[in-house]
Structure 1
């Protein structure tokens, strides 16, 4: 298991990209929520992408907490999507009801 690393970037278009690396465990969801919140407040983006291409593990039961963060961001008016999900991560997010966020 590898600790979670969160790396933000802002594209020239204003889209905020959040790259997750390592393992995302339930205890990490607060850190993830805080990072997303800070980025939303600082940049007020119309679109945010959560790039999970380097996510090695999504601990079982964590998808629901991740989706709660995404739903909150969406209510603030930001279109938010999860990109580059492996089949395992995609399956967990889909099963938790997050199909609308997957691209």
Structure 2
């Protein structure tokens, strides 16, 4: 059995759960948003532009491309995805930016 694959499987499951939670959040907050999901990538369009969230299994990170804050790489730390340079969690950043877009 390939041990590299075994090491990635738990992260893939965590990342997929994260993508699922973000999808549900966006469907709730932006029910009219155009969304796409495929093979570990979730994209959605807003009035501000397109957000793209994807899992990066080799790096064990989630990457977000945001029209509001630009690119971010989130490490899985203490049961959440956290961006150390911006000092913010993935959920917090998305909530902040979506709320900002909805207020426009």
Q: Judge same fold: TM > 0.5, yes or no.
A: no
Higher fraction of strand: 2
Larger Rg: 2
Q: TM-score under structure 1 normalisation?
A: 0.30
Q: TM-score under structure 2 normalisation?
A: 0.30
With CA pairs under 8 Å and 6+ residues apart, which has the higher RCO, 1 or 2?
1
